[in-house]
Amino acid sequence: MVQSSRKRGLLLVIIGASLWGIGGTVSQKLFQQFSIEAGWLVSTRLCIAGILLLTIQFIFKNKSQILQVWRNKGTAVHLVIFGLFGMLAVQYTYMASIEHGNAAVATLLQYLSPVFIMLYLLVRRETAFSARDLVMITLALVGCFLLLTNGSFSTLSVSGAAIFWGILSGISAAFYTVYGAYLLKQFDSLVIVGWAMVIGGAGFSFIHPPWQIDTALLTGEALFYLAFVILFGTMIAFWFYIESMQSISPKEASLFGSLEPLLAVLTTVFWLHEPFGVYQWLGTMCIIVLILFLSLSKNKQ
């Protein structure tokens, strides 16, 4: 029975992480082929996916937590900040990086977030610099250089805007991880993630209203890809990944989560036919090794 539960957990995390990676590439197709704007996609996907996650919580889990999170003023304020400066910031910077570059580079840059967390802890002197930290920084710097330059000092493989938003995405993901821990210790993950999406999406709707779009852009094919991004690349991906934690360890979930950048790279290169040089592949491997190194490390900082 335990073994069966673990297999289910591994299957869920593999599907969830894979859908995250593919969802980024599908978003790129929406930007490039159908002229969908990143801001509109972010507000739309967050509102819809957030409502769906809260609906899942209401039907299958402890529905009392959905409103309970708002009953304490401190918790409510924390949740609003997390929704706007955590969830929304991560989603928009990531999508903006894809829009200006491609899903492969954007995803790999976002996965540098543990390095930013480590630097934050070092600056605050909450941890001492170690050989492990040196390995992390070296892999991150070498990986980024090869990924973004393809081995040439004179050219960039993607635009400066894509790099700017990608680095901001990594920083936002670091804040999202650290700041959200307080809430996730008190309430179910679906409640926090669902509300954070709704808050972020609702807040961003004042800038990019989901109801304001040129309907001529929403062809049948575009709607199919949009539904995939919202349902599979966001709602189901989050749900499955969170659900997998009931059956497997956080370390295993983190390890298999590395499938996201790998799938993002593979689908970007082989489905969207984005050019990817030898040195970019080497840079990708450096960053994936960094992710695996972090996942397998026994250091829990």
Task: Evaluate whether residue 301 is within a structural domain.
Answer: no
pLDDT in tens, the chain (301 residues): 567 788 888 899 999 999 999 999 999 999 999 999 999 999 999 999 999 999 999 999 999 999 999 999 999 999 999 999 999 999 999 999 999 999 999 999 999 988 898 888 888 877 777 888 888 889 999 999 999 998 887 788 999 999 999 999 999 999 998 899 889 889 999 999 999 999 999 999 999 999 999 989 999 999 999 999 999 999 999 999 988 878 887 777 777 888 899 999 999 999 999 999 999 999 999 999 988 888 777 544 4
Q: Which residues contact 37 (CB under 8 A, 6 or more apart)?
A: 31, 99, 208
Which pLDDT score is estimated for 151?
A: 85
* Residue 246: DSSP 8-state: T
Burial class (CB in 10 A: 0-12, 13-18, 19+), 64: exposed
Question: Structural domain tally of the chain?
Answer: 1
Phi, psi of 175 (to 5 degrees): -65, -45
Q: Given its phi and psi angles, is residue 279 left (phi above 0), alpha (psi -120 to 50 degrees) or beta?
A: alpha
- Quote the Cα angle for 99-105-110, to 5°: 95
Q: Is residue 62 part of a domain?
A: yes
Distance of CA 129 to the CA centre of its chain: 27
**Residue 119 located in a structural domain:** yes
Residue 129 DSSP one-character state:
-
Which helix (H) or strand (E) segment is 43 a member of?
helix 38-60
- The domain in which residue 290 lies consists of 2-296
Does 40 map to a domain?
Answer: yes
Is residue 24 domain-resident? yes
